Structure 1
Amino acid sequence: MSGQSKGKLHKQWKTDLVGLAFIAPWLIGFLCFIIGPMIASLYFSFTNYDLLTEPTWIGLGNYIQMFTNDVRFIQALKVTLIFVFVSVPLKLAFALFVAMLFNTKRKGVGIYRTLYYIPSILGGSVAIAVVWKQLFGRDGAINDILSVFGIPSISWVTSPDFALSTLILLVVWQFGSPMLIFLAGLKAIPTELYEAAAVDGANPFHQFFKITLPMLSSVIFFNLVMQTIQGFMTFTQSFLITQGGPMDKTLFYAVYLYEKAFGHFDMGYASALAWVLLIICAIFTAFIFRSAGSWVHYESEGGK
């Protein structure tokens, strides 16, 4: 190897080492706090482990117990699926609707965008959960408003018929993040398309379905994936407002996992629950990606 080649190689190694030094904090954190715990939880999922004694290997025992003799696991999965299938479409629909309202150049619209984004910043906090619980309590402001119309008071968060709907409403109210993403997508649509459609006689209804939705399909795809995954991991609202009740009607999967891990100290079973949740999220995400070819529009692919 010539001296010039050795010099280039040495310079390349030096550049690589500098790059590794810069990413070392993130890389160490990723290995120690993400990959490491994931590998540990995979091992614990095949054991009987209570955090206090040595884990005992039981093979597929936790998974067999989960799918054959755990009624609450089935209930938690059912509640979570209902929550995701109802809240995600509603949240995205409201986010798109508000984004279209804000897609103007009117004076002061930036202030309204900020105000509508605030619930997404505060929505997962303890304070907002407590406020929501008070609003929908039997003596809360919601019942005070409904009483004006002669509707009797209901304890929304403790009613088996309305508790889950109350939590869904809270999550839909937090539409700020997807709204901003939709707004960015709307601003990227060329105005010439709408002008040409208007000249051809297309009304706003046709423009929405023929221009707006196809051009936003990639943004909808992104929001759908992110909100679906987030929906399966929802924890704070149920844990703080209803504690999974009444009668397990709001027992979200993440709440049941937490209960098993830190309520019953059954860390082996909780680890198995976590891996099943990962697989469920992967299946739904893969389904969305699989279906994307038939409805997501990419200009670089000729509109396919």
Structure 2
Amino acid sequence: MTTTLSARAAAPPPAPTPVRTGARRYRTAALFMAPAGLGFLVFFAYPLVATVYYSLTRYDLINPPQFIGFDNYVRMFTSEPLIRTAAYNTLWLVVVLTVCRVTFALGVASVISRLKAGVGLVRTLCYLPSLAPPAAATLAFVFLFNSEFGPVNRFLKLVGIDGGLWFNSPTMSKPALSLLALWGSGELMIIILAALLDVPPEQYEAAQLDGAGPIRRFWHVTLPSISPVLTFGVINSIIYALQFFTQAIVAGSAAAGSADVAGNSKYIGAPQNSTLTYPVWLYVQGFRYFNMGYAAAMAVLLFVVSAGFTWILVRQLRRSSHQEQT
């Protein structure tokens, strides 16, 4: 009898069942994911749902919101003239900035990847402008491109070129803002540079043995290898242009000679509404005229357009990757 009891006492405990082990793993994973999930709910899901709700109301931040259905959306597409100007300016920036920003970053990264000496210094100098605060960088550009005493126009006069009015001209203000955006595209350049350095050298050697020149190697080896990064750059540039706010509002105010960037509505979009972008008009409607319901409808439309561009580009990337694999 004693032997039987000691044998039972020495027996190992039963192993946990697979069901209990799986449930414990799920609880552990859920515990670690809880902060991220809570942040998603508080800072993304709730604001998104609230914005959609307020877009269906008349709300002035003081009185309770009144449900009016889709009247704000109807107003956007029928009886709002300045939103068309803002949409055109934003679409212009989307097209020009996306093409120029990705091309410029790819060109600079290609040059840096071929340097033999001073790579770290050049890379740092090209990246530093992206760290400048947008408001300070815009004020500096307005000074540099001043039509009367700006250093850029003075230099152009020395070589016999008329520099123009830049930020004081309705036709030159958006190109000037594009130059400002290109100057601060060092972050995208660093990402593309990392992708270029990650391309296997064996592919270039094989293409060179097949008689491919520099242009064909770039077209058939470099571009296919970094196509996912370029797609990311296009998506990033589109979203960047769709959210173009600080530079536009500061440039319009500073070019008009106002020290108060957001305090006087007559300087918003100067000159002649050429710097009036969609986010700037959204800000004016929501926080200047207190049409928060209408501003929420504009924000929902901006979100849908951004998500649509992203979905199309990601789908095209997956399709091209599938074709390359097959």
Could you say whether these structures have the same fold, taking a TM-score greater than 0.5 normalized by the shorter chain as the test?
A: yes
Separation of aligned partners in 2, 1:291 and 1:24 = 33
Q: Within the alignment, does 1:157 sit opposite 2:182 as a pair?
A: no
**Superposition pairs for residues 130-145 of structure 1, below 5 Å?**
130-138=139-147, 139-145=149-155
Give the drift of 1:26: 3.4
Check conservation: 1:44, 1:268, Cα contact below 8 A. yes
Q: 1:236 aligns with which of 246, 268, 281?
A: 246
Check conservation: 1:229, 1:281, Cα contact below 8 A. yes
Separation of aligned partners in 1, 2:16 and 2:202 = 56
Q: 2:211 aligns with which of 197, 201, 204?
A: 201
Q: Deviations over 1:48-103 (max 9, x none)?
A: 10001111111111011110000111111111111110111111111111111111
Separation of aligned partners in 2, 1:226 and 1:265 = 30
Match of 1:280 in 2: 305
Check conservation: 2:127, 2:187, Cα contact below 8 A. yes
Matched residue SS, 1:127: helix
Q: Structure 1 residues 98, 16: closer, same or farther in 2, change over 3 A?
A: same
Q: Deviations over 1:172-226 (max 9, x none)?
A: 2222122112112112211112112222222111111121112221221121112
Match of 1:39 in 2: 49
Instruction: Mark the runs of 5 or more structure 2 residues left unpaired by the alignment.
Output: 1-12, 253-267
- Number of matched residues? 298
Q: Within the alignment, does 1:111 sit opposite 2:136 as a pair?
A: no
Q: Structure 1 residues 105, 170: closer, same or farther in 2, change over 3 A?
A: closer
Separation of aligned partners in 2, 1:41 and 1:71 = 23
Match of 1:259 in 2: 284
Give the drift of 1:286: 2.5
Check conservation: 2:59, 2:65, Cα contact below 8 A. yes
Separation of aligned partners in 1, 2:162 and 2:202 = 53
Match of 2:106 in 1: 96
Q: Within the alignment, does 1:121 sit opposite 2:131 as a pair?
A: yes
Q: Within the alignment, does 1:224 sit opposite 2:224 as a pair?
A: no
Instruction: Mark the runs of 5 or more structure 1 residues left unpaired by the alignment.
Output: none
Give the drift of 1:129: 1.4
Separation of aligned partners in 2, 1:229 and 1:193 = 33
Separation of aligned partners in 2, 1:220 and 1:18 = 37
Q: Structure 1 residues 292, 17: closer, same or farther in 2, change over 3 A?
A: closer
Q: Structure 1 residues 39, 114: closer, same or farther in 2, change over 3 A?
A: same
Worse-superposed segment, 46-55 or 169-178: 169-178
Give the drift of 1:293: 5.1
Separation of aligned partners in 2, 1:71 and 1:264 = 16
Larger radius of gyration: 2
Separation of aligned partners in 2, 1:42 and 1:151 = 51
Check conservation: 2:97, 2:237, Cα contact below 8 A. no
Match of 2:273 in 1: 248
Separation of aligned partners in 1, 2:317 and 2:20 = 46
Q: Structure 1 residues 219, 275: closer, same or farther in 2, change over 3 A?
A: same
Give the drift of 1:108: 2.3
Matched residue SS, 2:40: helix
What TM-score comes out, normalization by structure 2 length?
0.84
Match of 1:146 in 2: 156
Give the drift of 1:22: 4.1
Give the drift of 1:231: 1.5
Separation of aligned partners in 2, 1:244 and 1:75 = 10
Worse-superposed segment, 267-276 or 237-246: 237-246
Aligned-residue CA RMSD (Å)? 2.3
Q: Deviations over 1:95-134 (max 9, x none)?
A: 1111111114623201211110111222x52211111111
Match of 1:60 in 2: 70
Q: Structure 1 residues 52, 5: closer, same or farther in 2, change over 3 A?
A: farther
Match of 2:260 in 1: none
Matched residue SS, 2:273: coil
Give the drift of 1:12: 5.5
Give the drift of 1:18: 4.8
Q: Deviations over 1:243-281 (max 9, x none)?
A: 422111121111111111111111000000000111111
Separation of aligned partners in 2, 1:231 and 1:25 = 31
Check conservation: 1:215, 1:297, Cα contact below 8 A. no
Separation of aligned partners in 1, 2:71 and 2:80 = 12
